């Protein structure tokens, strides 16, 4: 799903489990490609978007009304506990700012953690190609 946050996001916590849940009303523009290569806007639809667990808290810090996003996930139907009505929401597995319409700054500083800072481990060498003799570089021949 590619869209924009249409309303003020909310962060709630499940009364039973304490699981965080990010919720926002979102708008999605729909486009049709024309024969001449141009695009025609065929309308906008609005949906409920939710993300749970760790991503919910991160999304709450990251998004506000008007922000553009890209999300992966799927639409799920559920029964609203308050009204008893069947509803549908997009349950996001991933939710990120849209890099086409949003200026992003990527922090490339290494993350902390014991596994990443283990003594005697040089992680830079993990992606270097080992030296090979000229014989090892020759292509293999099938059916010899």
pLDDT of the residue at 41: 95
Expressed in percent and rounded to 5, the helix, strand and coil fractions of the chain are 10, 40, 45
Q: What's residue 131's pLDDT? A: 63
Domain boundaries, the chain: 2-109
pLDDT tens across 66-117, in order? Answer: 999 999 999 999 998 889 999 999 999 999 999 999 988 888 888 776 555 5
Q: Give pLDDT tens digits for 19-70.
A: 999 999 999 999 999 999 999 999 999 999 999 999 999 999 999 999 999 9
pLDDT value at residue 39: 95
Does the domain at 2-109 match CATH 1.25.60.10? Answer given as: no
| DSSP code, position 139 | P
Which residues, at least 6 apart from 113, have a Cβ–Cβ distance to it below 8 Å?
Answer: none
Rounded to whole angstroms, the Cα distance separating 76 from 88 reads 6
Taking the complete model, does pTM exceed 0.85, yes or no?
A: no
């Amino acid at each position: 799903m590619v869209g924009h946050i249409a309303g003020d996001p909310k962060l709630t916590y499940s009364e039973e489990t304490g699981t965080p849940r990010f919720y926002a009303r979102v708008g999605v523009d729909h486009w049709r490609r024309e024969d001449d290569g141009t695009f025609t806007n065929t309308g906008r639809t609005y949906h409920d978007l939710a993300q749970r667990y760790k991503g919910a808290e991160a999304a709450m810090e990251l998004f506000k009304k008007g922000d553009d996003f890209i999300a992966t996930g799927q639409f799920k139907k559920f029964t609203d506990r308050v009204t008893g009505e069947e509803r549908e929401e997009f349950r996001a597995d991933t939710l990120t700012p849209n890099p086409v319409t949003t200026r992003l700054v990527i922090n490339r500083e290494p993350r902390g953690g014991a596994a990443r800072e283990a003594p005697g481990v040089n992680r830079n060498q993990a992606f270097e190609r080992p030296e090979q003799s000229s014989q090892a570089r020759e292509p293999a021949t099938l059916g010899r």
